[in-house]
Amino acid sequence: MDDKVALVTGAASGIGAAVVRALGEQGATVAAVDRDAEGLRQTVRKLTADGLRVEAFHLDVTASAEVEAGAGAVESRLGPVDFLVNAAGVLRLGKATELTEEDWAATFGVNTTGVFLMSRAVVNRMLPRSRGAVVTVTSNAEGTARMDMSAYCASKAAATMFTKCLGLETAKYGIRCNLVAPGSTDTPMLRSMWQDSTGPKTTVEGSLDAYRLGIPLAKLARASDVADAVVFLLSDQAAHITMHTLTVDGGATLGG
C-alpha cells in the first residue's frame, strides 16, 4: 500500500486506531479522523513515534460541513484518498421501549449518518479518478437481534445496506465497497458493557438470559484481528470483491 492515502474515522481508539496502525504498517499515509481531539492526538503521537505516516484531522462525522471540509483538507494535505474506512461508532444501551429520542438520534447520527456523510464526501472525490475502496465497520449485530441494543443493531443494519447500495452504484467506476462485521472485540466499547469482572467470561461463554450465544473459538477478538480483515478488503487481494460482509466474530453468530 505504498503511496496510497487512507482516511479512517473513529481513529482515536479501539478498532479505528488498530486500522490506522495496520494501514500505516502496510506503507499507506493515513488521515486519522475523530472528534475526540485529545485521544486522537495521543494515538497519532504514538503511531508517528513508531515511524508511521499518520496525520490527525479533528472533526465530527455527524456534521456535514465539517465532513466536507475535512475531506477536502485531507486531499489538499496528503493527496487523493484511495481508501476510506468508516470505523466511528457509538453504543447506547437500553430497552427498545425505554430509549430516549436523544439516545436514538445520537446512535444513528454517528453509526449511520456519519457513514453516509463521510462516504459521500470521499466517494464523490474518488469517482472522477475511477478508483478507490471503502470499508464500513459494522457489527455482527447488524443481522442478529440483541437485548438492550435495538438502536445499535438498527443503526448498523442501516449502515450495512447503505454501503452495499453505494457499492452497487459505484461498481462501474471501479470503486469497491465492503463491510467488516466484528463480534465481541476487546475495545473500550465492549468493556463499557461489562458490569463486573465476570464480563469477559460471560461474553465468551454466552448468556441464556440474554439469548446470546457464546464464542465458539472461546476468545474475544483483538482490534488487530478486525483491522487485518479491513486491510484485506482494501487490498488488491480483494480486487474482485464488493458489496460483501466479512464477519469477524469467532463463530458467535454461527456463520449467519
Cβ-contact 6, 52 below 8 angstroms? no
Q: Of all helices (H) and strands (E), which one includes residue 178?
A: strand 175-182
Does the active-site annotation cover 152? yes
Report residue 163: phi and psi, to 5°.
-65, -40
What is the sign, positive or negative, of the torsion defined by CA atoms of 44, 248, 168, 107?
A: negative
Closest to 185 in 3D by CA, of 16, 61, 6, 31: 16
Q: How many CB atoms lie within 10 A of CB 77?
A: 12
The DSSP result for 5-62, as a single string, is EEEEESTTSHHHHHHHHHHHHTT-EEEEEES-HHHHHHHHHHHHHTT--EEEEE--TT
Catalytic member of 56, 152, 221, 242: 152
Cβ-contact 122, 170 below 8 angstroms? no
Q: What residues are paired with 31 via a beta bridge?
A: 7, 55
Residues acting as catalytic residues: 152
